[in-house]
Amino acid sequence: MHGNAPTRPWIHRLSKTNPPGSIRLFCFPYAGGGASTFRGWAELLPDEIDVHAIQPPGREDRLFEDPVDTLQATLDAVVPELLEYSKEPFALFGHSLGAIVCWEAARVLREEHNLEPARVFLSGCRALPAVHDGRRDLHTLPEAELIEELRLMNGTPEEILRNADFMRMLLPAVRADYAMLSRYSFLPCKPPGAPVTVFGGASDPGVGMNHLQQWSELIEGELDSVVLPGDHFFLHASREPLLAEMAKRLVGPVQASGRESSLGSL
């Protein structure tokens, strides 16, 4: 569609400050989302958390780039950028499709680069072996049906859904993301060494408490789960309690880990 458009970075820094001892938080958006999903997070989180958002092509300031519709192409692009930040402590957050990309990025960092994040946050996502159970392949739907599916998910404002010109620009990225989801096949792998927190929405019709509990079958180390008010897009409706839960798992433990690491190098 826009094959000649220049390629922009996948990682956008949202924080204005970066004090000594801070931890970088890399956030992966849901299907159709971009870096703006995490607008305001840096202002609500402690200064010690340096917020970065993943910006896939085909949306927002990368609108005129072709969207990516395979997980492998996404990992091939984003992991090298993550490696540029790997000398400092970092954590990963992903919501819905972003949680799948987050999990797989952590796997590549672990298996190919011997790197572990300080913590992994998986939000609004079924345990991966069950990710396709009962789901439709949305990327092949006619435009009107796809828009109606987005309306039912309750994550896109009605004024945007009714704006034909805007939807014409947005839908290629949405289709690409849903194609990525439909093609995803979970392969068993060594469990993450990092602690994992799973978030869910109390009223999420597609990700129930049983789905969150199934993450324990994939994770052998530290795992905890938090259920917050809201549907699938509780990360917006319950943004402040979500960020509070993340902050208390990052700031203290990571600072302590950093001090131990520094002492060990003396």
Could you give the residue numbers annotated as active site? 96
Q: Are 101 and 28 in contact (CB under 8 A)?
A: yes
Alpha-carbon distance of 158 to 22, in angstroms, equals 38
Residue 36 is given by DSSP the state: G
Alpha-carbon distance of 130 to 184, in angstroms, equals 11
Alpha-carbon distance of 119 to 138, in angstroms, equals 31
CA 138, 142, 144, 145 dihedral sign is: negative
Alpha-carbon distance of 54 to 239, in angstroms, equals 18
**Ramachandran region, residue 88 (left: φ > 0; alpha: ψ -120 to 50; beta: rest):** beta
Residue 64 is given by DSSP the state: T
Q: Which residue in 199, 140, 175, 164 sits closest to 59, CA to CA?
A: 175
Q: Which residue in 146, 103, 152 sits closest to 124, CA to CA?
A: 103
How many Cβ atoms sit within 10 Å of the Cβ of residue 63?
16
Q: Which residue in 169, 149, 186 sits closest to 71, CA to CA?
A: 186
Q: What angle do CA 95, 243, 257 make, to 5 degrees?
A: 100
In DSSP terms, 95 is beta-bridged to: 123
